[in-house]
Amino acid sequence: MLMCANTQRRWSGFLPLVLAGAALGWCALPAQANLVLQTIYTSAAGRYNTWFSALTQTPDGSFYGTTPAYDGSSPYGTVFRMTQAGALTTRQIFLGVNGLDPEGGLVLASDGGLYGTTTGGGAYSLGTIYRIAATGQFQTVAAFDGTNGASPIFTLIQARDGFLYGLTSSSGTNNTGAATVFRASTAGVVTTLTNLPANTMPSDGLVEGPDGWLYGTTTTFSFSGGPIGSIYKVSTNGTFRTLASFYDGPVPRLGGSGDRSIGGLTTGTDGFLYGTIGHNLFPLVTSNGSVFRMTTNGVRTTLFAFSGANGSNPLTRLLLAKDGAFYGMTAQGGPSGNGTVFRVTTNGLLTTLAGGFGLYWANGSIPPLMQADDGNLYGTGIVPAQGSYSSVIWRLVPPPVITGETLSNGRLTLTWTSFTNGSYQVACKGAINETNWTALGSPITATGGEAAFSYFPGSASQCCYRVTLLP
């Protein structure tokens, strides 16, 4: 097999084919080490204040998410639906009376509904829990009045007991009390389980641990030499325990801090919890952040420490993917300093999958990745656009690799690696050193992990073929 230099973006291989009685020969590009970031939706320039939440996929293959502010159709946020092809439609507009600022994403509950929260609006102007049915019907499930918490944030979870659990940023009718952990039935009964410690705010949503307890992380906005972040657990009956505290360097810094220094936690299949820590925290082995593993008793082990060249400041909840590894993102570092997407195993082997996209994230907060039914990773972010910024929805996909060819009765069939609903174009040219490629047929939409194209080359004595992944 002859190897050729990769001079075309997003193409993985071409095949020069000699038809005049000679044996078929490959000239293929090696598979790229990095994945391809493919933008599938971009908002209008200047709409970056409407950053997208993390995505949730429903059984019909659609993606749902939220925008917390003006997106051109609502001053108070929306719920949107997007196809895998990137067609986005607004499913719900928030007007204040039915909630405003849905800063968290959506959870697909066992009853088939999507549940989310708004930080404000509703009957008491202190936030709501809402439900969107598979048919699109919107329902306000509960309204916060201060006595049951105020201004819910982050994405709800549904625990094994069937209840929804979440966090508020405050409590009290004047919205100045402590942040809370709450339980809610799908019928709308909200119960406060516990208050978080004074002067702390949730830094990410909850996760259910292998022991049935709820785990979360905090950041401290006002302190005097104390911790600026912590990891905690709370039982479903409200028992609260602090498992770990973190400081801003070996000598605790005085003053306030709004840094989101600890990402959310993810439960592994091995009985441990996994998480990320940002830079400049103590105790920490690197100023660029790390990935750690933790027991349910709070004993932590550093799995990987970032160096900066491979990423820095991994402020995101890890995704446990179908291959058993964890995937996440760093906010800085990597090839261009704009962050990376990485894969890390349970024994600490880290691989940088992609980087240098020029992505940014609102308020330094990175919505977590999600893995769709096509096997690809999806995420959201912000990119420069026309002197301002736009919000984007993107996915990471493997570039196509030509895997086979068959010539039978003058008909040539090419096969290549693909993913469901990926759109590909086959093209050819007469020689490797020619500049122009000629498209063969219409784009092909893949239905699985392998796609194929067949045609009759005719009298051509030689042709080089390539397959490109289309936007």
3-class DSSP string for 4-30: CCCCCCCEEEECCEECCCCCCCCEECC
Query: Cα 87 from chain centroid?
Result: 18
- Could you read off the pLDDT tens digit of each residue along the chain, which spans 471 residues? 222 322 232 333 444 443 332 233 333 333 334 678 888 888 876 555 567 889 999 999 999 999 886 555 557 899 999 998 889 999 999 999 999 999 899 999 999 999 999 999 999 999 999 999 988 999 999 999 999 999 999 999 999 999 999 999 998 877 788 999 999 999 999 999 999 998 888 989 999 999 999 999 998 764 455 567 889 999 999 999 999 887 655 443 333 333 446 789 999 999 999 999 876 544 444 578 889 999 999 999 999 999 989 988 887 899 999 999 999 988 888 887 888 899 999 999 999 988 766 666 554 567 889 999 988 999 988 777 777 778 889 898 888 989 998 889 889 999 999 988 889 999 998 888 888 999 999 999 998 889 999 998 877 667 889 999 987
Whether 57 and 372 have beta carbons less than 8 Å apart is answered as yes
Q: What was the pLDDT predicted at 337?
A: 81
Give the contacts of 347 (CB within 8 A, at least 6 positions apart): 303
Q: How confident is the model at residue 464, as a pLDDT?
A: 87
Measured distance CA(222)–CA(363) in Å, rounded? 18
3-state class percentages of the chain: helix first, strand second, coil last, to nearest 5: 0, 50, 50
